[in-house]
């Protein structure tokens, strides 16, 4: 398994506002598509920071002309970004997969980590993003065991119930845009009450997110 971690900063509706409001985000792009020369990038973002800054971030994003279909619940937003130019997710190859969600820091840098069984595919991704984005840097590029990849390493720390809730939520589309399920359906599928399922999922996310942020912030410049 080959893994690459790349740091990128560009004219991004999310990254620009992370800098402006001094917050961070964890996000997952979905199926990027192009129509009539315009790139559409559906995505879900979770914003972290001071509550007032998070609220200001969301209100400012609502006024962004490149954003459509914006919905939010608390600090979680769902939106579609429209671009006339290419964005990092435009370079995503179907034989790559995300090792972790994309982390955007307070300076507006996006931290991407992707993996593939093919070194050539990883190298194509690295070359293309570093060519197209001037503010980019390869932080890690190496061959590793699958058990060393973030999610494989983290999941054993969850209880069986927490792991089941997190995997069920992912499988049924809780983290998709638009959401394909709700807590009532997920709790029924797991055979527990809504409050119980919500608690399992909350505890799982509380364990996953801090570990994710710490690992993304590590500087591992390797080639």
pLDDT at 221: 39
Buried b (16+ CB within 10 A) or exposed e, 34-63: eeeeebbbbbbbbbbbeeebbebbbeebee
21's CB contacts (< 8 A; 6+ apart) are: 49, 53, 54, 56, 57, 60
- How far apart are the C-alpha atoms of 198 and 215, rounded to whole Å? 26
pLDDT value at position 219? 44
For residue 52, what pLDDT is reported?
Answer: 92
Entry pTM:
0.67
pLDDT lower than 50: segments of the chain:
219-223
Residues 137-185 have pLDDT tens digits of 999 898 877 655 555 555 557 787 888 888 788 778 887 767 888 999 9
The domain 150-214 having CATH identifier 3.30.230: the answer here is no
The pLDDT score that the predictor gives to residue 198 is: 92
* Residue 222: per-residue pLDDT: 39
Domain regions of the chain by residue span = 2-144, 150-214
pLDDT at 220: 44
CB 17 within 8 A of CB 57: yes
């Amino acid at each position: 398994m080959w893994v690459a971690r790349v740091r990128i900063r560009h004219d991004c509706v999310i990254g620009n506002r992370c800098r402006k409001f001094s917050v961070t985000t964890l996000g997952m792009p979905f199926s990027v598509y192009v129509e009539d020369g315009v790139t559409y990038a559906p995505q879900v973002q979770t914003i972290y920071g001071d509550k007032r800054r998070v609220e200001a971030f969301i209100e400012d994003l609502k006024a962004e002309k490149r954003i459509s279909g914006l919905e939010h619940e608390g600090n979680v937003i769902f939106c579609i970004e429209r671009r006339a130019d290419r964005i990092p997710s435009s370079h995503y190859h179907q034989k790559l997969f995300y090792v972790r969600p994309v982390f955007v820091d307070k300076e507006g840098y996006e931290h991407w980590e992707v993996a593939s069984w093919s070194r050539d595919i990883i190298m194509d991704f690295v070359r293309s993003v570093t060519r197209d984005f001037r503010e980019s840097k390869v932080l890690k590029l190496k061959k590793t065991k699958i058990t060393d990849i973030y999610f494989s390493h983290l999941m054993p720390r969850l209880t069986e119930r927490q792991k089941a809730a997190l995997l069920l939520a992912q499988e049924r589309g809780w983290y998709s845009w638009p959401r394909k399920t709700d807590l009532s359906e997920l709790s029924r599928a797991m055979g527990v009450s809504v409050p119980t399922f919500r608690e399992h999922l909350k505890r799982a996310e509380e364990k996953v997110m801090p570990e994710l942020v710490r690992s993304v912030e590590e500087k591992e410049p390797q080639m």
